[in-house]
Chain A
């Protein structure tokens, strides 16, 4: 692990927190898959399993006043950002107590309190928003940064290039976090990109750009911290290409005809949770009792979140058109 290189000072507590953060996402997603089969969650459901190190590592480097823009595969980011699990689960159910009052569902989690600006189901659609959020922070004299997550598929979109150029041109503090899981839905990277080293594309916009092992939570956190520190002192945007792999299907409708089972199994052997767990055990930071406690805490939190979502009321149909037009700008 990167920690061995001394890039990040990892205490036992912070190491266990990173592991717990990833496991919390993993178990939440597994529960979502079950709830989808049980038809409690409907629509599209995109699971983050296999990619947990990126959200947990990168968001650990942010401060509470920073902004986050994510994609339709954003449950992990929402959890890692600190949005209450029960409100996220209620959103999955489409209930009024969900963080978006059930209007968004799995793909559109929003939370003003943590400056979490969705949950965007248009590939690349969130990137210009991130540029604008960073612009607003800078114009108002705040030293906040905006972390913008997107998949490698978004790099083919014009909005990626427009946003990268604009952020670099105006030296805005946007952390572009590319979650390169090698498949844009079912299209492999080398079947959609002429240049498959995506960090090279970003570098061409004259911004700091690096490739990171997206399966290594400590490496992601270290890279994000370096980038965020540089951005806070006026360094302009940064791009992190986090190489990762999606262990589950693109969505619950995906039969995965485009990749081999062997490939998936091979990636699972060095997934973010197994690797970090093994390393923590080796270094003596993790004991069996820790893991049991972490798992028990997570199970209890998930049970409570599911119970909360089950019991939560539905938005009344009379409120269907509420918020289409706003009466005022919320504080």
Chain B
């Protein structure tokens, strides 16, 4: 575990609030849990429900997972179903695709999104194409999970947010669970989906703690969620930036600005309707994304707003994105590389109350 700086702690605090807000609405018994435990519970549940499900990836078994997500699962389910792989991303991701073609329901874990680039051929050229290229004879019901994002001082080969790249590709679905309920509930729905589904788990969320309904179960994997309602500006975000946006909304509220916070949840397909409905109400949009601005998912969202909601806008669509650098190691530079709560608050305020 890395040491946490002040700002990371502040994010965790914001994270708790956000997660709690969703769960309070569900009455009934809740359990205290972390995002990591919620993902683990989702995997355990899937392994227990369906004998076709198995987990494979680097160090998922004896080590317990690079981020300790799968700890204990090897002991519970055995080596056949919790399968340690060699360091062969292309090999084992491709084997996951083959196993899905052969009737299994694999969960493939790739340690971090940067490593997934070694498996890009399999994901883009095989998983995303075979159903269409075979004229619908074959489906690839596969889930690939990976860590994404910055915040653990892991420098430029472990910290990037490349989920927007994957969202470019027809034939796959791209999920970004941010809440405990989504971390717990998206996996099973993804496994039921006949298509390859990529799940991006932000590294800063694993330690996030909150209350989750004791009977929490599968949730839909399509559609954005309005995590906080507001009338003055729409903050459109996903993943690790959600809780920064919720914290910013809290600060803005103290200032008399009611920000609506949209958690995209799914980057492909994009829930354009929810985004446009929000913008129709607030007339302003700020997109917050850790990924780079040039050619990023934020550009896609901005374009959709302009295409579908141009006449609703009272201000230009704005974006806060990752700085265009390979994310550096030192804490202060790493923090400066991605949008922080204060940046979001300032950008939102400038949009609502221009000088």
Are A133 and B90 in contact (CB-based, < 8 A)?
A: no
Does B101 touch A at the CB level, under 8 Å? yes
Are A117 and B101 in contact (CB-based, < 8 A)?
A: yes
**Chain B positions 123-173 with a Cβ under 8 Å from a chain A Cβ:** 125-126, 130-139, 141, 170-171, 173
Are A323 and B131 in contact (CB-based, < 8 A)?
A: yes
In the complex the two chains form, what is the Cα distance from A137 to B102 in whole Å?
7
Tell me which of A98, A125, A140, A326 has the highest count of chain B C-beta atoms within 10 A of its own C-beta.
A326
B-contact 0/1 string along A308-331, CB 8 Å cutoff: 000000000000011111111110
Instruction: Give A104's nearest chain B residue, CB to CB.
Output: B133
> Least Cβ distance of A200 to chain B in Å?
21
Q: Count how many pairs of residues, one from A and one from B, have CB atoms less than 8 Å apart in the complex.
A: 160
Are A329 and B134 in contact (CB-based, < 8 A)?
A: no
Stretch at the interface among B80-88, B181-189, B277-285, B346-354: B80-88
> Least Cβ distance of A44 to chain B in Å?
14
Stretch at the interface among B3-11, B91-99, B293-301, B310-318: B91-99
Are A132 and B94 in contact (CB-based, < 8 A)?
A: yes
> Least Cβ distance of B189 to chain A in Å?
14
In the complex the two chains form, what is the Cα distance from A163 to B97 in whole Å?
13
In the complex the two chains form, what is the Cα distance from A326 to B134 in whole Å?
12
Instruction: Give A111's nearest chain B residue, CB to CB.
Output: B137
Please tell me which one of the listed residues B80, B88, B132, B133 contacts residue A162 in the complex, with CB atoms under 8 A apart: B88
Instruction: Give B83's nearest chain A residue, CB to CB.
Output: A170
Are B131 and A159 in contact (CB-based, < 8 A)?
A: no
In the complex the two chains form, what is the Cα distance from A194 to B132 in whole Å?
38
Classify chain A: how many residues form its interface, as a range: 35 or more
Does B50 touch A at the CB level, under 8 Å? no
Please tell me which one of the listed residues A108, A133, A323, A325 contacts residue B102 in the complex, with CB atoms under 8 A apart: A133
Given contacts A323-B135, A323-B136, contact A125 B126 (CB under 8 A): yes
Please tell me which one of the listed residues A67, A98, A104, A127 contacts residue B94 in the complex, with CB atoms under 8 A apart: A127
Does B121 touch A at the CB level, under 8 Å? yes
The count of chain B contact residues (Cβ–Cβ below 8 Å) is 42
> Least Cβ distance of B63 to chain A in Å?
17
In the complex the two chains form, what is the Cα distance from A330 to B135 in whole Å?
11
Does A21 touch B at the CB level, under 8 Å? no
Are A162 and B90 in contact (CB-based, < 8 A)?
A: yes
For A139, the chain B residues whose CB sits under 8 A away are: 54, 80, 99, 104
Please tell me which one of the listed residues B92, B122, B133, B139 contacts residue A125 in the complex, with CB atoms under 8 A apart: B122
Are B99 and A135 in contact (CB-based, < 8 A)?
A: yes
For A299, the chain B residues whose CB sits under 8 A away are: none
For A325, the chain B residues whose CB sits under 8 A away are: 131, 171, 173, 195
Instruction: Give B122's nearest chain A residue, CB to CB.
Output: A128
Does B204 touch A at the CB level, under 8 Å? no
Instruction: Give B124's nearest chain A residue, CB to CB.
Output: A122
For B134, the chain A residues whose CB sits under 8 A away are: 100, 103-104, 108, 110, 112, 118, 323
Are A67 and B102 in contact (CB-based, < 8 A)?
A: yes
Are B95 and A132 in contact (CB-based, < 8 A)?
A: yes
Q: What is B's interface to A at a CB cutoff of 8 Å?
A: 52, 54, 80, 85-86, 88, 90-104, 106, 121-122, 125-126, 130-139, 141, 170-171, 173, 194-195
Given contacts A108-B133, A140-B102, A166-B88, 10 further A-B contacts (CB under 8 A): A69-B98, A112-B134, A128-B93, A132-B106, A135-B95, A136-B101, A162-B90, A323-B131, A325-B173, A327-B194
